[in-house]
Structure 1
Amino acid sequence: MVLRSCCKFGPVLVLFRLGYVALLWLCVTHLRCARAETKTVVQKDAEFDVTYNDTVTSDNQTIYAFNHTVSRNKTEGVRVTVDVLSEGAESSPILFVVRQKQAVLSFQVPLILRGLYQRKYPYAHVGRTLCQPPTRTLTETQYFFVDVSTLSSLGTQYQLRISRVDSFTLHTDKKFSFTASPSQPQYFKYVFPDGVDTAIVKVNSEMTFPCSVMSIQDIQCPVYDLDNNVAFIGMYQTMTKTAAITVQRKDFPSNSFYVVVVVKTEDEACGGPLRFYPLRPDELIDAGNRSKTLDVVVSPAISSDVYVMGMLFCLGIFLSFYLLTFLVACVENKRSVDRFTVPGVTPVSPYEYGSFGECVCPFTLQRSLESVTGRSRQESLSSIEEDDYDTLADIDSDKNIVRTKKYLCVSDLARKDKRVLSKKYQIYFCVLLLTCSSLLQVVNVTGNQDICYYNFLCAHPLGNLSAFNNILSNLGYVMLGLLFLLIVLQRDIIHSRALDRNDLNALECGIPKHFGLFYAMGTALMMEGLLSACYHVCPNYTNFQFDTSFMYMIAGLCVLKLYQKRHPDINASAYTAYACLAAVIFFSVLGVVFGKGNMVFWIVFSVLHILATMLLSTQLYYMGRWRLDSGILRRIVYVIYTDCIRQCSGPISVDNSSLTYIVLLLFCLSRAAYGLLKTPNDFASYLLAIAICNLLLYFAFYIIMKLRSGERIQCMAMVCILFTAVVWGFALFFFFQGLSTWQKTPAESREHNRECIVLSFFDDHDIWHFLSSIAMFGSFLVLLTMDDDLDDVQRDKIFVF
């Protein structure tokens, strides 16, 4: 019965329920409309420079109407300043909407700005400058409205003030001071005057922190003047004390731009400390007083005449080396031709130590005479030869026996066929060319003003190059590298012609002349200039290897060339040498990425550094007859037992003394200890310093041993040595000026920026490029000419050390 009744009255109940829902919806809609009708909207005619104190709730909305006359010939800014006086307004902020003719600006107060890890900072005092749309008429009256509203049912008290900014337009070479904060950014307008195509905008402050941002933006609305959007368009730089951006007229169709200065909510971008992390995700952090006083000045950049003078100055310096080298080469070429055009004449050796075939070091002979007896000189020579030289018949053919002689001459280590050695050392040049081409293919620069570490106070743009002067100054590496190749080519041709004539001087005298390493050195100097220019397109830590790779190669090639002079048969192959240099570059990259403050990396690097030094020292001490294999430990124990315990044997060669390698190992240990204790931030420079120190130590050792052996340094080589030493001293002075550094934040790096010092075009780092290229060229000439005094000395009278 009940079920039958439900079925009978079911449609009626459904219709009743639908009608009830419709009636309820009508009631709610009516109430909403009634509530909206009760909300009061008040419009007030407002005036500039008047402070309006008012209260806003969800039931009322206030509109302030302003009007002002805009002149096309005079630009003035309009600034809105708002203060919230009620407490607890963060939960229900006030919304301010400024409606203009061509723009709308809206912001809430308190203004919530976010920092790192989304930390929130409230600001109850807000000041914003209104965007000024351009006017086409001579004068025009513009209207704008400020709408004030909130969703809070409680009354919130506020202050509103609209004022004119009379100094809104910046003037050329006139400093203007102002104050900014995260909630009160500032921006100003600059119009290019007639005759000025490039300008430098400089912003300075006596305060390091708070961290700030300087931005250059085109004249358009809206203007991005908050911490969370200032990087959206235009060019920008973070700054602590100084920032500078070079602006070109061609980049701004309106011939004007805005200079925007924003104070960041946090200082991490400028290298400041990391603030505490909030306990709750929605926790608001008191930002404190982050106001900063700054100065801005816009100055005209250099004219095109200065560019021309800079380029002519650069070309003039290095073309003068071509002229000087040409004059010297004419004189030297005449001497060389005169010397090599007397075939079949045995040269007279300046050394009188014995007959042809004898090789005894003079200072060893002197020690023998003083310590043993008063025998005559010839008797001592005979005694030394009988007692200490192996008399086996194969001493002149087996290299294992030759290299155990106590007194080695260059002839003992120059037994390989000249054609074989020539091909071996030409591989250095070929492999280097392959390395150069592969590196150039991967050079690609992207970034903005905060990525590139320029000296912004002396960065002169040209086309798409932001610092053309830093690129132009690398021309010296290329031009002097090419000049060195021409000098080597001239010597190579003269020597080849002498060999073709079977000239005795070329065949039997002097240090064996292999030019492959010299060609590689000249090419490396040219590539250093090209890749340094690529690096200076946008210098930063991601492309530093283009600037330093060939520095390692140049240092390594110079060491190899020094060793090759007295050890032509046992020098490393090109493949082994470049593999070691590649490992050095690889560790350099790892050190930059992982080495900063990483003790594990420094321990691993120091251990590998010491092991590599020990292995290399052992290889050099045993003249290439020592091998690393499974029997190494057994041989080490055997050598210690036979040479140190059973009997005290002398070194393999008198001047190949173990004392030299002990000093080298101690030097290596001291550098490793320094790295572990200091863990320098610039690992690339630390590694390069190690390579340069090794080169200087070996070069000093070579000079000392050369003089001790009774050899002399000719006038040309001595002039090159003195000139190069002086130039290196001045070059290092300018290098350590440190105009920028990518080991710090961009803002901290800009604190070291300086003005140009030469022709208003070149800075200290450009002078380093000039002087270092000249110094490297001079160093190569020293290596090329240092043993010219031995060209008339037979090789069995030239000592190995």
Structure 2
Amino acid sequence: MVLRSYWKCRLKSSCFPAPRWIRPGLAALFWFCVTQLVCGAGALGENKFVRQKNAEFDVTYNDTVKSNNQTIYAFNHTISRNKTEGVRVTVDVMQQHLESPILFVIRQKQAVMSFQVPLILRGLYQRKYPYKHVGRTLCQPPTRAASETQYFFVDVSTLSSQETNFQLRVSRVESFTLQTDRKFSFAASPSQPQFFKYVFPDGVDTVIVKVNSDVNFPCSVMSVQDIQCPVYDLDNNVAFIGMYQTMTKKGAITVQRKDFPSNSFYVVVVVKTEDEACGGPLRFYPLQPDELIDAGNRTKDLDVVVSPAINSEKYVIGMLFCLGIFLSFYVLTLLVACVENKRMKRREMFPNPPDTSPAETGKTPASPYEYGSFADNGSTLSSEAITDSATSTDNNYGYLGQEPFKRRPFLNHLHHLAIRIERSLDSVARSRQESLSSVEEDDYDTLEDIDSDKNIVRTKKYLCVSDLARKDKRILSKKYQIYFWNIATIAVFYALPVIQLVITYQTVVNVTGNQDICYYNFLCAHPLGALSAFNNILSNLGYVMLGLLFLLIVFKRDVTHSRALLRNDLNALECGIPKHFGVYYAMGTALMMEGLLSACYHVCPNYTNFQFDTSFMYMIAGLCMLKLYQKRHPDINASAYTAYACLAAVIFFSVLGVVFGRGNMVFWIVFSVIHILATLLLSTQLYYMGRWRLDAGIMRRIVYVIYTDCIRQCSGPMYIDRMVLLVMGNIVNWSLAAYGLIERPNDFASYLLAIAICNLLLYFAFYIIMKLRSGERIKCLPVVCILFTAVVWGFALYFFFQGLSTWQKTPAESREHNRDCILLSFFDDHDIWHFLSSIAMFGSFLVLLTMDDDLDTVQRDKIYVF
């Protein structure tokens, strides 16, 4: 078969026609070889001239080439196993316009590299950039001998019929092997890439390769590749192998010895033909599809330094430090709990009756339905009033009426002792009856006069907690427990796909080597196993541990309160802010989930998974505001379904803002209108305590109120305190809406979170001011928590605004903000933000939990609503 193919091929040749007597066989093969030698010699003599030159290093060869002229330059050099020398080939073409490019083929022992001059590199949208000055470094084949002489050849040829002048120079590269902690400076361009070799020294398993430049552009790519031939060192192939990342001023890649069997690697630096990958301007389109664009001067000066990374001891110290900080809070909480238990035992030995005097100052409205200022003098109740008050304590929370009363301490003690004895006798029967009864939240709404009763109570000028704590405690307990169960369900269904997704992200990064996928602080990203930035994940441990600690504290309070209710403690039944722990459980769960999802986000932080880190921040802010409102309004607080639906809407707008909000004026107009309308609706709901309707007649009622209260007679607002809060809240929210509409910030998620935090801080400040204005006091523990939390929040925000990376920009621009570790050579500024913010959130939760402890012995009809 082979002979027949040779025969057919030869019959088509025009050099020597085969005689007729030639037949397929050995004779045909012989005839083919002879004719090929004769024809080849004739063609070589007449058409193609090949010459070979013995060339030397560091000599510039000026020569010409055309279609019938081929030149081969032969080089030899001695390489040794213990020493590596780089060899660089530099080519220049003199003509401005070439009929055909010159082809350079470099043949080595184990590799062949070829390139043409002008070198045509393609950019975005296949735009073409010609380069007539080309420099390439040859890869270094490994050798097992102690010393070996290797040859390589540079073949120069072209298909152009015109003579073309070129220059060729082959030189040795000084400092081809990088030294540890020693900076090396060099220049690179798209047609003159550079790469260097690094060998791991003994005892070093991980190093950080840092490449720096004084200028942003032109955009560059740094790559780390295994020792092999060929080396991928052009813009169009540098991403084929190894790890790589784009860079402007800074680039850093952490390299581990286990990933390179030869204990060495190449550091490759390539300058891109265009700057779009680094956030630079988009260049013009070519007028013709095949038009060549002048690339201009794109030479960039760079420095490379290879430094050892931290060892395993630093990992252990960092983990122990992280655990030690948060375990200390467990120890401190245990000590405080021991002190509190001793104080409670002392109180049980010497029980004190409930504080039936007005809240601290003794000032209260003269009548619960009076529309005026606080009365300056209290009145003593008659014996009938005392009897009615005692009877009214059979309610779940106690409802002692609205008039202040005073008793002598001894008689007061006897009176409450008699009530306790009476309740203890029928506690078993009543508890069994309550357990068998079906209690629904809408029991009160079955009364015919419930609407009029709500209108009468909630429209009083000065409300007390007893006015808004009328529903059965079991009803509200079930209602607020839904907060915890709902957020637990949300957490499970939210976290599982998140974990799966980030594992996929990390796998893609490890397999492809594309480090532009994730926005790390590459100067302080310590890998562990498959994780690229273990320190950013570890620092989120505080959210989980402190969230769990808060749940334990809430559980302890819940158990203590339940036991007090079982023994019919008057303070638990009739005094203080009604104790509902469902929202507290939801807050602790949200804090733990924030830590888990923040850790997932930092596995591979980028543009597509930002909501993992922010979703539960919105929930924490919303739950804190709901808890503040619930303290004084237990009967009319929002249900869990409504609250989570609103938070879901917030997260939905957060996603829309990041995807469509960048410079989109239409989106910002729509969002600002929705923001202002939502603020007005919420203000109306809070001002009228829910006693208003959003229906077709709302505009008519608004016009009527404006006419009667503003035009017909100029009367001030009935609820001054609420009006002050809502006016301030509207000013803040309208200002934030105007800022967003004018500035249109790129980071919409942070802008939305700032709105939530501003509203939370405003309401919290209002609560503290009104608490002090109402004559209440704040105990020592919440005061310490407030001061401590304020200081920690200040330091936390300082580290948060350092901005070590940002997915609002390109990966190369994000790396310009990278910084070295500042704590234990293991944690960076953002890790410290994780530490401090988790502590600050935990302190804020403790403030909410303990802020009204001073009211635990104050009757609920003496605690004002604001």
Tell me what 1:669 maps to: 734
Code of the aligned partner of 1:661: L
- TM-aligned CA deviation for residue 362 of structure 1: 13
- TM-aligned CA deviation for residue 284 of structure 1: 1.1
Tell me what 1:107 maps to: 115
Tell me what 2:542 maps to: 476
SS of residue paired to 1:673: helix
CA distance in 2, matches of 1:796, 1:50: 101
- TM-aligned CA deviation for residue 591 of structure 1: 0.9
CA distance in 1, matches of 2:351, 2:561: 13
Code of the aligned partner of 1:655: D
- TM-aligned CA deviation for residue 400 of structure 1: 2.2
Tell me what 1:39 maps to: 48
- TM-aligned CA deviation for residue 43 of structure 1: 1.4
| Contact kept in structure 1, 2:209 and 2:304, CA below 8 Å | yes
SS of residue paired to 2:115: strand
CA distance in 2, matches of 1:377, 1:786: 27
Tell me what 1:72 maps to: 81
Name the CA shift for 1:223/1:83 in 2 (closer, same or farther; >3 Å). Answer: same
CA distance in 1, matches of 2:556, 2:670: 46
CA distance in 2, matches of 1:662, 1:126: 70
Matched, 1:599 2:665: yes
Tell me what 2:296 maps to: 288
Code of the aligned partner of 1:634: R
The correspondence of residues 679-698 of structure 1 with structure 2, limited to 5 A, is 679-698=744-763
Name the CA shift for 1:646/1:728 in 2 (closer, same or farther; >3 Å). Answer: same
Name the CA shift for 1:344/1:305 in 2 (closer, same or farther; >3 Å). Answer: closer
Tell me what 2:63 maps to: 54
CA distance in 1, matches of 2:806, 2:182: 30
Name the CA shift for 1:795/1:357 in 2 (closer, same or farther; >3 Å). Answer: farther
CA distance in 2, matches of 1:197, 1:363: 78
Tell me what 1:415 maps to: 470
| Contact kept in structure 2, 1:92 and 1:151, CA below 8 Å | yes
Name the CA shift for 1:198/1:23 in 2 (closer, same or farther; >3 Å). Answer: closer
- TM-aligned CA deviation for residue 792 of structure 1: 0.5
| Contact kept in structure 1, 2:219 and 2:247, CA below 8 Å | yes
1:380-418 CA-partner distances (Å, limit 9, x unpaired): xxxxx99xxxxxx96998212211111111111111111
Code of the aligned partner of 1:60: N
Name the CA shift for 1:207/1:560 in 2 (closer, same or farther; >3 Å). Answer: same
Code of the aligned partner of 1:410: V
SS of residue paired to 1:74: coil
Tell me what 1:638 maps to: 704
| Contact kept in structure 1, 2:725 and 2:766, CA below 8 Å | no
| Contact kept in structure 2, 1:212 and 1:240, CA below 8 Å | yes
Code of the aligned partner of 1:573: S
| Contact kept in structure 2, 1:404 and 1:652, CA below 8 Å | no
Tell me what 2:389 maps to: none
| Contact kept in structure 1, 2:519 and 2:604, CA below 8 Å | yes
- TM-aligned CA deviation for residue 348 of structure 1: 4.0
CA distance in 1, matches of 2:239, 2:220: 12
Tell me what 1:382 maps to: none
- TM-aligned CA deviation for residue 663 of structure 1: 2.4
Matched, 1:243 2:251: yes
Matched, 1:399 2:459: no
1:673-693 CA-partner distances (Å, limit 9, x unpaired): 101111111111111111000
Tell me what 1:581 maps to: 647
CA distance in 1, matches of 2:591, 2:686: 27
| Contact kept in structure 2, 1:454 and 1:538, CA below 8 Å | yes
Structure 1 length as normaliser, TM-score? 0.91
1:436 to 485, 491, 506: 491
Name the CA shift for 1:509/1:151 in 2 (closer, same or farther; >3 Å). Answer: same
2:327 to 300, 319, 323: 319
Tell me what 1:303 maps to: 311
Moved more, 25-34 or 75-84: 25-34
1:216-245 CA-partner distances (Å, limit 9, x unpaired): 111111111011111111111111111111
1:723-777 CA-partner distances (Å, limit 9, x unpaired): 0001101111111111111111111111111111111111111111111110000
1:237-288 CA-partner distances (Å, limit 9, x unpaired): 1111111111000011111110000011111111111112211111111111
The correspondence of residues 144-163 of structure 1 with structure 2, limited to 5 A, is 144-163=152-171
| Contact kept in structure 2, 1:357 and 1:797, CA below 8 Å | no
CA distance in 2, matches of 1:230, 1:362: 81
Tell me what 1:97 maps to: 105
> Any gaps of 5 or more consecutive residues in structure 2?
1-9, 18-34, 381-401, 404-447
SS of residue paired to 1:401: helix
| Contact kept in structure 1, 2:725 and 2:763, CA below 8 Å | no
Code of the aligned partner of 1:250: K
The correspondence of residues 450-461 of structure 1 with structure 2, limited to 5 A, is 450-461=516-527
CA distance in 2, matches of 1:768, 1:728: 9
Tell me what 1:532 maps to: 598
1:785 to 817, 832, 850: 850
Name the CA shift for 1:361/1:776 in 2 (closer, same or farther; >3 Å). Answer: farther
Tell me what 2:607 maps to: 541
1:767 to 813, 819, 832: 832
- TM-aligned CA deviation for residue 139 of structure 1: 1.1
Tell me what 2:146 maps to: 138
Code of the aligned partner of 2:314: V
Code of the aligned partner of 2:56: E
Tell me what 1:86 maps to: 95
Name the CA shift for 1:522/1:649 in 2 (closer, same or farther; >3 Å). Answer: same
Tell me what 1:234 maps to: 242
2:677 to 585, 606, 611: 611
Code of the aligned partner of 2:853: D
The correspondence of residues 162-561 of structure 1 with structure 2, limited to 5 A, is 162-339=170-347, 345-349=353-357, 351=359, 365=373, 398-443=453-498, 444-445=501-502, 446=505, 447=509, 448-561=514-627
Name the CA shift for 1:442/1:23 in 2 (closer, same or farther; >3 Å). Answer: closer
Code of the aligned partner of 2:79: V
| Contact kept in structure 1, 2:368 and 2:460, CA below 8 Å | no
| Contact kept in structure 2, 1:57 and 1:155, CA below 8 Å | yes
CA distance in 2, matches of 1:174, 1:759: 23
Name the CA shift for 1:351/1:593 in 2 (closer, same or farther; >3 Å). Answer: closer
- TM-aligned CA deviation for residue 358 of structure 1: 6.8
State the identity as a percent: 80
- TM-aligned CA deviation for residue 548 of structure 1: 0.7
| Contact kept in structure 2, 1:362 and 1:710, CA below 8 Å | no
CA distance in 2, matches of 1:28, 1:562: 104
SS of residue paired to 2:516: coil
- TM-aligned CA deviation for residue 630 of structure 1: 3.0
- TM-aligned CA deviation for residue 665 of structure 1: 1.6
CA distance in 2, matches of 1:351, 1:197: 68
- TM-aligned CA deviation for residue 645 of structure 1: 3.8
Moved more, 29-38 or 62-71: 29-38
SS of residue paired to 1:162: strand
2:795 to 720, 730, 736: 730
- TM-aligned CA deviation for residue 378 of structure 1: 5.1
CA distance in 2, matches of 1:224, 1:186: 11
CA distance in 1, matches of 2:484, 2:348: 27
Matched, 1:744 2:809: yes
The correspondence of residues 1-20 of structure 1 with structure 2, limited to 5 A, is none
SS of residue paired to 1:776: helix
- TM-aligned CA deviation for residue 350 of structure 1: 5.5
Moved more, 661-670 or 526-535: 661-670
Name the CA shift for 1:151/1:396 in 2 (closer, same or farther; >3 Å). Answer: closer
